[in-house]
Structure 1
Amino acid sequence: MILNGNIISGEFDDLTNEFVLQKVKHFSTRSTIKENQLNDLSEYLSKHKHETNGQILTMYDQMLVPLNREEIISFLEDLDEVRALYH
């Protein structure tokens, strides 16, 4: 199943029960996210969503992706959609 969210897009693989992240904001990527990783990311962002300076995601250990508060909330909504696909 393909997901085109507000912040992320990718494809859920029913056979492996994993989400293949293909885009974060306008950055292309190819990262596989297992359910426990998604839950950890969601929990972290939920705890820090009200911070004034937002958060910075790191892709490939070198590319920084800044997220402001509104983007964090949109990201969490996208993650909730992905979470519903896991079985």
Structure 2
Amino acid sequence: MFVEGKIISGEFDQSLNEFSLQRVKSFETQSIFKECQMEAVYNYLIKHERDSDGQIVTLYDQMLVRLTQSEINELISDLERVKSLYH
């Protein structure tokens, strides 16, 4: 099932119970998230959602992508949608 969020998009594989992240903002990427990994990212963002300076996401351990406070909130919403797909 394809998931199109405001910050991320990717494919959720129900048979493998994993999410293949394909886009962060306007950047293409490829990462696989098991449920526990998605939960860890989500919990981190919840703890830091009020950080006025935002957050930095690293793609491929090289490219830094800045997220504003409002983008963090959008990403949290995107992650909640993906989290609901895990079984």
Q: Which bracket does the TM-score occupy, shorter chain normalised?
A: over 0.9
Question: Which residue is equivalent to 2:13?
Answer: 13
User: Residue 81 of structure 2 aligns to which amino acid in structure 1?
Assistant: E
Aligned pair count reads 87
Q: CA deviation at 1:15?
A: 1.2
1:8-62 alpha-carbon deviations (Å, 9 max, x no partner):
0000001110000000000000100010000000000111111111000111110
**Offset at residue 84 of structure 1 (A):** 0.5
User: 1:1-87 alignment to 2 at 5 Å?
Assistant: 1-87=1-87
Unaligned runs of 5+ in 1: none
Cα RMSD for the two superposed structures: 0.5
TM-score (norm: length of structure 1)? 0.98
Q: Distance in 1 between matches of 2:59 and 2:35?
A: 18
Letter in 1 for 2:10: G
Q: Find the aligned partners of 2:52 and 2:77 in 1 and give their Cα distance.
A: 19
- Structure 1 segments, 4+ long, off by >2 Å, are none
Compute the TM-score of the two structures, normalised by the length of structure 2: 0.98
